[in-house]
A = this chain, B = another copy of it.
Amino acid sequence: MHRFYVETPVDSDKAYLAGSEAHHLIHVLRASVGMEVVLIDGSGNEFDARVLHIERRSVELEVITRHAIDRELSFPFTLGVTLPKGDRQRWLVEKAVELGVHTLVPLQTEHSVLAPTPTSLARLRKVVIESSKQCGRNQFMHIDTPQSLETFQQRPTQESLQIVAHPTSGIPVSSIGDLRSSTLVDGLPVFAAVGPEGGFSDQEFEDFQRASWQAVSMGRRILRIETAAISLVAALTLR
């Protein structure tokens, strides 16, 4: 069933699509009155709805049923990452959504490739919506404002698992489970940090260790930022 994003939270028996969502429904899918679709509003619910009325640039729908369907991870996952460039950035966000990341924090580091602009962040938030429609997620991944590494390192305030990817040393990802079960209750927050391709600077890495982040090894090859980030997320969440 096709999924559409409604900007205004659905809280009555009517909903409206406008802009590109309406365009897609009207012109790509050639909707007719009575057609059934699924609406999401990022609230965690999805809604069965039926097309009531089609205008040139908007669609009115009747909301039939609300489903509170939880496709989230069983623990909140925050990924801090230096954003790569262009397509790779878009791709990283798409995959993070698919894998259930709760919050993505763009990190400003010594070797960062670029500082995200408000425009690029807005573009990435659109990717979040597109990807959520596609993968069946009903809560949107939050993309935070860019943060200094210092701020991010101090972000975990309660008991949590804090993992920093290190290209060449650290425990294998497979040991994280042991670490987790020996020290933590399941459901507690997980924070992961992935640096730029040159890695975090020595000073930055020391700061992580001083702030009690656990280094994990990323294998023998040089992973691109988005590969390291998605690999780490996958290894920590497919459990």
Q: Chain A residues in contact with chain B, CB under 8 A?
A: 70-73, 87, 91, 95, 98-100, 134-137, 172-174, 177, 216-224, 227, 230-232, 234-235, 237-239
A220: contacting residue among B91, B100, B217, B235, CB under 8 A: B100
* With A231-B234, A234-B235, A235-B235 as contacts: A223 and B172 at CB distance below 8 Å: no
Q: Which residues of B contact A136 (CB under 8 A)?
A: 220-222
13 A-B residue contacts at CB 8 Å? A71-B221, A95-B227, A98-B227, A99-B227, A100-B219, A135-B221, A135-B222, A136-B220, A219-B238, A230-B230, A230-B231, A230-B234, A232-B234
Expressed in whole angstroms, the Cα–Cα distance for A177 and B238 within the complex equals: 13
Q: Nearest 8 pairs between A and B by C-beta?
A: A231-B234, A174-B239, A173-B238, A71-B220, A135-B221, A234-B234, A172-B239, A235-B235
A91: contacting residue among B91, B135, B218, B232, CB under 8 A: B91
CB of A221 within 8 A of CB of B177, answer no
Q: Which residues of B contact A220 (CB under 8 A)?
A: 70-72, 100, 136
Expressed in whole angstroms, the Cα–Cα distance for A95 and B88 within the complex equals: 12
How many copies of the chain does the oligomer comprise? 2
Expressed in whole angstroms, the Cα–Cα distance for A75 and B26 within the complex equals: 52
CB of B231 within 8 A of CB of A219, answer no
Q: Which residues of B contact A72 (CB under 8 A)?
A: 220
Expressed in whole angstroms, the Cα–Cα distance for A71 and B173 within the complex equals: 18
CB of A98 within 8 A of CB of B223, answer yes
Q: Which residues of B contact A224 (CB under 8 A)?
A: 98, 134-135
CB of B231 within 8 A of CB of A134, answer no
Q: Which residues of B contact A238 (CB under 8 A)?
A: 172-174, 216-219, 231-232, 235
CB of B173 within 8 A of CB of A222, answer no
Expressed in whole angstroms, the Cα–Cα distance for A73 and B221 within the complex equals: 10
Expressed in whole angstroms, the Cα–Cα distance for A219 and B97 within the complex equals: 12
CB of B137 within 8 A of CB of A221, answer yes
A224 nearest in chain B by CB position: B98
Q: Which residues of B contact A217 (CB under 8 A)?
A: 238
